[in-house]
């Protein structure tokens, strides 16, 4: 998909699908097989979108600082991976409904999708 379309649009599309999947996963009562299928879609869309960030970061930074730029982007992503479960624990302890927790986690996906659509990557070599 990233070969055929602009990477920032592909990432935004993955996140948009992830928003729907995450919200459905947390809000709808489904049979086990459907729940597992939706869980796979959540994993594929969210991970696919975030892994696309590394490609996008590589396209945004000039060659002389590309390694550092991608490394910083990956490091910041790890911060979210650490904070996510901690915040989730606090939300559960605060007695948030499961659907509300998943909707809360859809917000960063919406922000990421919107911000991706604002990026205009170039393939400059410096």
C-beta separation of 118 from 17 below 8 A: no
**pLDDT for res 61:** 86
CA distance 39 to 44: 9
Residue 1 lies inside a defined structural domain of this protein: no
Q: How many domains does the chain have?
A: 1
Identify the domain containing residue 39 by its residue range.
7-118
Residue 124 lies inside a defined structural domain of this protein: no
Prediction pTM value: 0.84
CA distance 92 to 102: 11
CA distance 7 to 39: 24
Residue 2 lies inside a defined structural domain of this protein: no
C-beta separation of 24 from 38 below 8 A: yes
Residue 39 lies inside a defined structural domain of this protein: yes
Query: pLDDT truncated to tens, each residue of the chain (126 aa)?
Result: 878 888 889 999 999 999 999 999 999 999 999 999 999 999 999 999 988 888 888 888 888 999 998 898 888 888 988 999 999 999 999 999 999 999 999 999 999 999 989 987 665 443
Using only C-alpha atoms, the chain has a radius of gyration, in whole angstroms, of 16
**pLDDT for res 125:** 43
**pLDDT for res 121:** 60
């Amino acid at each position: 998909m990233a070969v055929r379309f602009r990477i920032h649009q592909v990432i935004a599309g993955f996140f948009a699908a992830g928003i729907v999947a995450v919200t459905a996963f947390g809000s709808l009562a489904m049979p086990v097989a459907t729940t597992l299928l939706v869980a796979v879609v959540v994993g594929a869309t969210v991970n696919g979108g975030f892994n696309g960030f590394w490609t996008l970061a590589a396209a945004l930074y000039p060659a002389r600082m590309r390694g550092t730029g991608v490394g910083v982007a990956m490091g910041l992503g790890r911060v979210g991976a650490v904070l996510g479960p901690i915040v989730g624990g606090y939300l559960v302890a605060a007695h948030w409904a499961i659907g509300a927790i998943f909707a809360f986690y859809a917000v960063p996906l919406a922000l990421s999708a919107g911000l991706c659509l604002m990026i205009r990557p170039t393939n400059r070599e410096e």
